[in-house]
Amino acid sequence: MVSLSENAAEAYKRNPERTYRQRRWTILQGLHQLTPSHLQHKIDDLNEDIAALKDEDAKLTDALKQGKKRGSYEYDLDGFHHIINTPHVLKLRLDADRAALKWIQREKCIYVWELRLRKVKAAAKLPFLRLQQQGLVKRLGELKEEIEAAEAKLQALRSEHGKVESELACVNHEVSLLAD
């Protein structure tokens, strides 16, 4: 299992197709556990990687264009200023970045698809849940009425019970007085 905490751009620069298969498998294993906010966070992280790769692509393309005019290729990447005489390294880096970009966009599609699928499922399920909610609210009201009626009946029975006990106590007292 591959770690998803690693920067996607760096992971895809090494071996893009193999990395995608590993990351895809890992993503699909844990996709059901992600909340929509986590899905959006993953999409935002991938968007940042895509933006960084596009920025790097623009720098490399510009360096290639400028190098053709000057004869030497200068570019700033990874915090360093590079000067080379042949464009081969730049072209390799550019190809690797473009391949990584393609695979990151495919990975992003997994998260976007899952987010859309969840929204569609929620939209389809919502009317049924609202209908169920209305039925439960109605049933709850009926049960409250039954409880109130039962409580009133119970109160009446307790009152009747108290009267009978009181009457029984009077009769018992009279019986004890007459029996003596």
Residues 34-65 pLDDT 10s = 898 999 998 999 999 999 999 989 988 888 88
For 82-111, the pLDDT digits (tens) are 676 677 877 888 888 899 999 999 999 999
C-alpha 75: how far from chain center: 40
Selected residue with higher pLDDT from 136 and 34 = 136
Cα dihedral value 16, 20, 26, 31, nearest 10: 140
Please report the pLDDT score of residue 151 as a whole number: 96
Examine the pLDDT at 6 and tell me if it is beyond 80. no
Whether the predicted pLDDT of 4 surpasses 80:
no
Torsion of CA 106, 109, 111, 113, to 10 degrees: -150
| CA neighbor of 8 nearest in space, from 112, 103, 109 | 103
User: What does pLDDT average to over the chain?
Assistant: 87
Give the residue among 33, 31, 30, 9 at the shortest CA–CA distance from 19: 9
